Amino acid sequence: MDSRNPAFRGNAFQQRAGGAGYGAPAYGAPGYGAQHQGGAGYPAPGYAPPATRPMTMDDVVVRGFMTLVTLVLTAAAAWVLVPTDLAVPVLVVAFIAQIGIWAFITFGRKANAPTVLAFAAVYGVVVGIISHTYNDLFHGVVFQAVIGTALAFAATLAVYALRIVRVTPKFAKFTMAAAVALISLMLVNLLMNMFGSEAGLGIRDPGNPLAYVFSVVAILVGCFFLLLDFDSIEEGIRVGAPEKFAWYCAFGLVLALVWIYLEMLRLASYLYGGRD
């Protein structure tokens, strides 16, 4: 079974053993590999029970909660402990570390408790410093962004549960293409800012209506990624993916939530209407 979420392609959830994927009868179907004689079951020759139990929704919830709490705690610590004059160096170091751990998890297929929680801890430092900076400029904007992110999560979950939007391979390709386009535009805009064009493409200029449109589109794309995550979780549970796949799910959920939060933060700053 191929996950519709491209972020999970190639990980343990996708691997095959002997041509059978997770959820095949060989992966723990009732009575498989046992011969019943007089009420006693005997393992079939060559049968070995699965090394890990199948993933459950509780696994995803617990690991997702652990990952999010780790991020929030390190964000709060960075907010309180990192002095203003060290904010930029710490932010740069944390951002580089975050990219490195993200690449290790994504391309090295190493989503487990140490790597995912380490990623959340480092990412939390980045989020905490950015949030503090925004809150100094626009008092109360962080609270508004948190509420907006929670509402976006709840709305996306409702849309998925009610099957208002169907997650299909075409939908996944569209989401990935949109994300690549957004990131490319942000990089071009950053380069233009670095080399003398203060307004850049206008996608981050509060005085340009294009900035509002860009942030709204970015928030929608983050919600689309949540839909892909929900689909991967549901499909993983249905086919009996191993317990460790829950860490991939937690990783994907946190990535999507922080994406939405940072764009909510920026959009709220546009709407703030002034500085303290």
Domain annotation covers residue 138: yes
Q: Is residue 93 part of a domain?
A: yes
pLDDT of residue 100 exceeding 70, the answer is: yes
Q: What pLDDT score does 275 carry?
A: 45
pLDDT classification of 91: cutoffs 50, 70, 90: very high
* Region of residue 23 (left: phi > 0; alpha: psi -120 to 50; beta: else): left
Residue 117's closest CA among 145, 135, 130, 98? 98
Residue 106 lies in domain: 57-272
Per the DSSP assignment, residues forming a β-bridge with 40 are: 37
Residues 221, 173, 255, 156, CA torsion sign: positive
Instruction: Kindly report which listed range (19-28, 184-193, 248-257) carries the lowest average pLDDT score.
Output: 19-28
In a domain, 263, yes or no: yes
Query: Is residue 162 situated within a structural domain?
Result: yes
pTM assigned to the model: 0.79
pLDDT band at 33 (very low <50, low <70, confident <90, very high): very low
What are the residues whose beta carbons fall under 8 Å from the beta carbon of 93, sequence distance 6 or more?
none
**Tally of domains within the chain:** 1
Backbone angles phi, psi at 47, to 5 degrees: -85, 135
**Interatomic CA distance for residues 256 and 227, integer angstroms:** 10
DSSP of 97-124: HHHHHHHHHHHHT--SHHHHHHHHHHHH
pLDDT tens sequence across 13-25: 444 333 333 333 3
Residue 28 has pLDDT above 60, yes or no: no
Looking at the domain assignment, is residue 40 inside a domain? no
CA dist 225 → 32, 176, 216, 268 (Å): 37, 9, 14, 21
At 37-90, the pLDDT tens digits run 444 443 444 444 455 788 899 999 999 999 999 999 999 999 999 998 899 999
Q: Is residue 134 part of a domain?
A: yes
DSSP for 157-196, please give it.
HHHHHTTSS---HHHHHHHHHHHHHHHHHHHHHHHHHHTT
Read off φ and ψ for residue 120, nearest 5 degrees: -60, -40
Return the structure tokens found at 129: 């410093």
Kindly state whether residue 149 falls inside one of the protein's structural domains. yes
In the predicted model, what is the mean pLDDT of residues 175-181? 94
- Write out pLDDT tens, residues 231-245: 999 999 998 888 889
Measured at the CA of 71, the angle between CA 66 and CA 73, to 5 degrees, comes to 95
pLDDT of residue 192: 86
pLDDT in tens, 105-120: 988 888 889 999 999 9
CA distance 116 to 137: 32
Span 130-155, pLDDT tens digits: 999 999 989 889 999 999 999 999 99
Residue 137 resides in a domain: yes
List, in order, residues 6 or more apart from 208 with CB less than 8 Å away. 199, 202
